[in-house]
Chain A
């Protein structure tokens, strides 16, 4: 009995030792900053940026805690509008990525084993160069003097349509978002599709399913977990992305990411920036929770 107890104690100790470093890491670098952010959102902005003191001897100085930033967020329609716009951009980016990534992932998964690694390498190759440089390169590709712009406007001109500016437009933002996040959709999809048992497709065909039915009735439903994780990996970063709209969207196209960045770097309203961040976090958690509920309904592993 006591032997057993000693054993279970050492097992518990091992569990603790193994799990405590990541636990401490998360505590220090995720929970603590989040808590600071929550606290900051209830405070007043400092005179020259930063936060106003919690207590001050001078009664003329703003101090203490307030719900002012939240009231402001909900009272101004513009912020809800930016949120909505960001959600739509994230949603559209995710859908475009899905439609573009699926055939690629399927192609890789159904290629001979030898060539798969090379193809995966090609998918992640863009990561070898800096993210900002890759986004800036789209400025050149979409710029008015680029061959691509000239071709598009040539076609539009022939059809009698006014020339368009490709750069600094919602279109350019979308192109940049899709371009940067496409590999994050391809990889989880490929990982999922690669595990599919090919005899299931044989069985479906054997039982009378044509190519289209084999895809919709077997491959697609079985790939849903891959779609969910790919969608999460694209949707969530796109929602908070500020660099791409900054570079390719011009001044008019502001998303939540830009808004938050602006609160900290130019407007210097830290409490409001914190509030926006918290609203974004809540929104993302809500989506993840919904997705987990959707995904959790499946009975197979």
Chain B
């Protein structure tokens, strides 16, 4: 259990600034995720927390103690590597017992802790197997057991689910959540997969080009992205170029060229005349031909351009009068109420006045 603090961390590689003045506080027992596209600096941050790399400026503090002079082997921080990095010449038991041996724990204690750790990841029957005899999911669990066996203060996970297939990845996500809750150790998770981040984390830091753009809980990150990058990176979102024509406490009035007016929820720091985008999630867009869509404050005519049937939902791409494409999501379970459309159908799109948001960044 430990509180990790990054204070104004900067790391440069030549002219390239990999991490640019990042400050984060990760609370004890938290499942915290660094999310961003590849090359955004998230792995560099992880390596600096683990001690494999040192910041050019700034501090890494664990429970208030500066780690600058503590080498990786002396930090009570363990990493689960992307390729698991299991020792191929050691059995599962030898792999998991490795950190205990390094810490020179007494043999009896090692046996007990090893048994518990293998039990926890359901691998007691694989103790004498070699890593090459294990499946991807089993390797993953060995790597987790090895990193958790001597109760580190902090566990770092570097895209550990990246090499697993989709179904296994989902299973491991559930296991990770349960494991983290059981052991109560602070997890710092690095990924570029937003679905994974949303499903696992207590809080997420979205990174772009070495900077932290937004730190929030998954739901807030999804509903209130701070700028266009976050909105675009987390889930799908429709974007329409818009200009503010009226800003009041109750709402924003936006003008969209060639389309008309949109009523949007209010936003602080927005002034009349400003350009930006109006962004709305596909599941907030209603699609239909009836008046119920026309009754909404925002509604427009369009033509269905494409239709993607995905089983649980259908995704419609609709071209509006100004040529902009808007995606609308229609749950197929609601087929009794909703109507299925074909490509080329004239439809009405609409959404509530308090849906979506205006983004000027």
Contact = CB atoms under 8 A, between A and B. Distances in A.
B37 interface: no
B73 A300 contact: no
A15 interface: no
B146 interface: yes
Interface stretch (A40-48, A111-119, A120-128, A195-203): A195-203
Contacts of B98: 204, 207, 209, 217
A44 B84 CA distance: 66
Most chain B CB neighbours (cut-off 10 Å) among A202, A205, A213, A221: A205
Contact of B83 (A197, A210, A299, A300): A197
A218 B130 CA distance: 15
A299 B87 CA distance: 12
Contacts, number: 65
A208 interface: yes
A301 interface: yes
Interface residues of B, number: 27
A300 B50 contact: no
Contacts of A298: 89
Contacts of B52: 202, 205-206
A298 B131 CA distance: 12
B81 interface: yes
State the main secondary structure of chain B at its contact with A. Answer: mixed
Contact of B50 (A204, A206, A210): A206
Contacts of A204: 87, 98
Interface string B87-99: 1110000000011
A282 B155 CA distance: 56
A106 interface: no
A221 B95 CA distance: 14
Interface string A222-255: 1000000000000000000000000000000000
A47 to B, nearest CB: 60
Nearest to B94: A217
The 10 closest A-B pairs by CB, nearest first: A208-B102, A203-B85, A300-B88, A207-B99, A299-B130, A199-B85, A221-B89, A205-B72, A206-B79, A209-B102
Interface of B: 50, 52, 71-74, 77-79, 81, 83, 85-89, 98-99, 102-103, 130-133, 146-147, 150
Given A197-B83, A208-B73, 11 more contacts: A203-B86, A203-B87, A206-B78, A207-B78, A207-B147, A209-B102, A210-B73, A217-B98, A218-B87, A299-B89, A301-B132
